[in-house]
Structure 1
Amino acid sequence: MLDVRRLRLLRELARRGTIAAVAEALAFSPSAVSQQLAVLEREAGLPLLERTGRRVRLTPAGQHLVGHAEAVLERLEQAESDLAEARGGLAGALRIGAFPTATRAIVPAALSALARRHPGLEPMVRETDPAAVAHALRSGDLDVALVHAYDFVPAAREPGLAAEPLYREAMYLAAPAAGAPEPPPGVDQGAVLRAHAEDPWITATPGTLCHAMTERACQAAGFTPRVRHRVDEFATVLALVAAGQGVAVVPQLGVTGPADPAVRLTRLRMRRRTNLAFRSGAGAHPAVAAFGAALRAAVPPELAGFRGPE
């Protein structure tokens, strides 16, 4: 009989490519991962791995087994959901990942509603960049997470995970009000961005989706931004824009609050889409479903019209 825990290790190896990466992600030693995979090969009765230098490649049999592992793990998530439903009454920890703007603007109201309806549930929020969510969900560090994707950085399909749409928000170019004149209505997005091709730019830190979004939007407009500052928190980004330190692309939830007369916001033809992500098969888990319902009720009215497909 194949061991589910070893199948999970094989799946992670298929995603990460090295024993060391699997060990780091799952808090094991590399030798322990290697030993467990060797046991799995003996259980399977044929080679599952081919070693090429420091990397490990799955054999065709190993790749086929990973597909079965995905199905098995999804069914186990469904079984846990059914058992939680049968027990009745939500209790215990719910580990939630969220990015900063959602943590500030939406999550607190959702948690308040969740506490009123399910006082035995203990939500635990951790700010997590969406780029790191998939690994955290698959490894079990998170149960559910808010993730976003941009028009220029679409969400990649992540095996073993599922997602449901929550809302969409507009994107803006933030520029010093004392700078170039505001573009006339109807000017296309590329022209708006190209007008600032020679200006210094403020982006998020490399490796984040927000950084990739700005880089790709500018490249689509025909130039590579000259980055002066790398800042992840949008309130700080807008403060730097107001100080004349550069221009930036920011989402709608990043510009809430009193308008700063030193910052000019020009709406772009871009969207940021926010989804609720979880392990495949876990969408019907009562705790996940309850949190999703609370989130949808907490979406600000100005974003309600952006739900659903374009």
Structure 2
Amino acid sequence: MLDVRRLRLLRELSLRGTIAAVAEALAFTPSAVSQQLATLEREAGVPLLERTGRRVTLTPAGHTLVGHAEAVLARLEQAAAELADTRRGPAGPLRIGAFPTATRAMILPALTSLVDRHPGLEPMVVEIDPARVADALRAGDLDVALVHEYDFVPTVAEPGIATSPLCAEPMYLAGRTRPPESARTDSVLAGCRNSPWITATPGTLCHAMTIRACQAAGFTPRVRHQVDDFATVLSLVAAAQGVAVVPHLGIPTHPPAVSLTRLPLRRRTTIAHREGATHHPAVRAVTRALRSSVPTELTPLTDP
């Protein structure tokens, strides 16, 4: 009989690439991960891993088993959701991941609704970069999370993760002067080709969005500052340190010296959780609370 815990380790190895990364993510030692995978190979009766020096890759049989592991883990998540549904209302810890602007604009009002309607729930919020959410969900560190994607930077479907759209918000060019009203998006951005730019830090979706939007307008931005906090970004713009592209939720207030020009670009926020957990009562409860907490100036989104 194949052990589910070992199947999870194999799935994580297929996603993370190294035994060390799996061990770090799941709080194991590398030797413990190796031992568990070796035991799984004996249970399977066929080689699942190929070892070349320090590198480990999956064999064709290993990849096949990972596909089955995804289905098994999703079905177990579904079983847990159905069992939880037999209890009297959502209860217990609920770990919610979110990016900072969503925490302020949507998570806080959603928590108020959750506490009022489901006093047995114990929501716990963790701010996390959307790029790390899938790993945290699969590892069980989060139960549900808000993630985002930008025009020019679509998200890639993650194994073991289910998503549903929540809302969309406009993007703005922040500068010291306002471009002509007749300027098209590409010419608005192109008009800043010689300006210094303020972007998020490399590796974030926001950074990639700015770079790609500028490249689509025909130039690569000359980056002077790399800052993730939008309030600080706007302060830098006000201090004539450069221009930036910011989302609506990143500008609840802005310095008087900053001019905002709306662009036909959007950031979309999505609710993510483990595959199979859609009907878990706690996931349903937080999803309803989040949908009721979307600011009126944003565009609500639903599944197609």
- SS of the residue 2:246 aligns to: strand
**Of 195, 202, 222, which aligns to 2:198?**
202
Residue 141 (structure 1) aligns with: 141
Q: Report if aligned partners of 2:172, 2:247 keep a CA contact under 8 Å in 1.
A: yes
Matching of residue 9 in structure 1 with residue 9 in structure 2 = yes
Cα-to-partner distance string for 1:274-293 (whole Å, 9 max, x where unaligned)? 00000000111000110010
**Of 271, 274, 279, which aligns to 1:276?**
271
Shift in Å, 1:309: 7.7
Residue 66 (structure 1) aligns with: 66
Matches within 5 A, 1:110-125: 110-125=110-125
CA distance in 2, matches of 1:187, 1:280: 44
Letter in 1 for 2:36: Q
Residue 261 (structure 2) aligns with: 266
CA distance in 2, matches of 1:186, 1:133: 40
Letter in 2 for 1:268: L
**Structure 2 portions without partners, runs of 5+:** none
CA distance in 1, matches of 2:202, 2:54: 26
Residue 298 (structure 1) aligns with: 293
Residue 80 (structure 2) aligns with: 80
Residue 237 (structure 2) aligns with: 241
CA distance in 1, matches of 2:220, 2:182: 24
CA distance in 1, matches of 2:265, 2:122: 36
Deviation >4 Å, runs of 4+: none
CA distance in 1, matches of 2:69, 2:5: 10
Letter in 2 for 1:298: S
CA RMSD of aligned residues (A): 1.3
CA distance in 1, matches of 2:303, 2:273: 20
Residue 107 (structure 1) aligns with: 107
Mean alpha-carbon deviation: is it higher for 30-39 or for 260-269? 260-269
**Of 187, 208, 212, which aligns to 1:212?**
208
Cα-to-partner distance string for 1:52-83 (whole Å, 9 max, x where unaligned)? 33321111110000000000000000000001
Letter in 1 for 2:231: A
Letter in 1 for 2:7: L
Residues matched between the structures, number = 304
Cα-to-partner distance string for 1:1-37 (whole Å, 9 max, x where unaligned)? 1000000000000001111111111111100000000
Residue 153 (structure 2) aligns with: 153
Residue 218 (structure 2) aligns with: 222
Matching of residue 189 in structure 1 with residue 164 in structure 2 = no
Q: Report if aligned partners of 2:164, 2:302 keep a CA contact under 8 Å in 1.
A: no
Matching of residue 307 in structure 1 with residue 301 in structure 2 = yes
CA distance in 1, matches of 2:52, 2:248: 47
Q: Which TM-score applies when normalising by structure 2?
A: 0.97
Instruction: Using the aligned pairs only, state the percent identity.
Output: 70
CA distance in 1, matches of 2:210, 2:54: 34
CA distance in 2, matches of 1:183, 1:234: 21
| Distance change in 2, residues 1:16/1:241 (3 Å) | same
CA distance in 1, matches of 2:25, 2:51: 20
CA distance in 2, matches of 1:309, 1:92: 28
Residue 126 (structure 1) aligns with: 126
Q: Report if aligned partners of 2:131, 2:204 keep a CA contact under 8 Å in 1.
A: yes
**Structure 1 portions without partners, runs of 5+:** none
Cα-to-partner distance string for 1:117-159 (whole Å, 9 max, x where unaligned)? 1111000000000011010001111111000000111010101
CA distance in 1, matches of 2:261, 2:54: 49
Letter in 1 for 2:281: P
